[in-house]
Amino acid sequence: MISKWSASLVRAGRSVRGSSAPVTYTLIALCCLTFLAGPASGLSPAYGTGDELLAVQRAYFRRWGVIPEELLDGSAGSALTPATALFVHGSWVHLLGNMLFLYVFGAMTEERMGRVQFTLFYVGCGYLALLGYAVANADSEQSLVGASGAISAVLGAFLYLFPRARVTSLLPFLFFLPVRFPAWVVLPFWAALQWLAAGRASDGPGVAYLAHLIGFGLGFGYASVRYGRPTGPTRVKAAPAPAPEGENQP
């Protein structure tokens, strides 16, 4: 059994190394493995059940997530949390929504940027998006986890690099019928929804839409400064709509 698992891992590793977007697939794998091993997945009996599990989850999010009030105090441990929070998700829906968007838009963006640059771009923009949210909500003691600040940056960069790429979207108000629109229609529509939602967001638990907007702006701005003219029409496999699951405030 162990040899079979080892062989499977070796084949998976070779597949990632031989792909055109190994960083994207590695990020997806890390987020999934972190979630499955942590208490948020609810799969491990070691974390208990009921109130005991909820207490463990809260402590886990506070340990690895961003707490704006503590981050801005300047402690070394808190300064690392915007990086660790990128790999922590609060629920199955939170994880799967983010990973689907990263899978759809990350590969092409990575191919355009290159592996090293894409890695630095993803982590850097994700960190700054969470930091920006913390500065805007300096008195908040609510923990913040999720990769959607970084993924929003990928969407912003994708919009600049591939504005005419055809994106298949599943729109709820059209009974989830698949429709194809260019990226310059889909992604600004997504950003507008984040802007409207941010204006209505309360200070309680929920989605940190401001982190999405900051990430999206950083990604678009970086791509516009770093690269020349956008490329021609490109097809994208599929993307849900209207938005990825947000930064979660458990």
For CA atoms 98, 192, 237, 130, the dihedral sign is negative
Contact of 99 with 28, CB cutoff 8 Å: yes
**Omega prior to 39 cis, within 30 of 0:** no
Contact of 243 with 190, CB cutoff 8 Å: yes
Neighbour-count burial for 185-217, b at 16+ CB within 10 Å, e otherwise: ebbeebbeebeebbeebeeeeebbbbbbbbbbb
Candidates 148, 152, 202, 224; catalytic one = 148
Q: Which tokens hold the place of 227?
A: 């690269």
Q: Quick check: is 212 catalytic? A: yes
| Cα atoms in the 13 Å half-sphere on the side-chain side of 106 | 26
Q: Quick check: is 91 catalytic? A: no
Contact of 179 with 165, CB cutoff 8 Å: no
- The burial class, CB within 10 Å (0-12 / 13-18 / 19+), for 170 is middle
For the annotated catalytic residues, the residue numbers are 148, 212
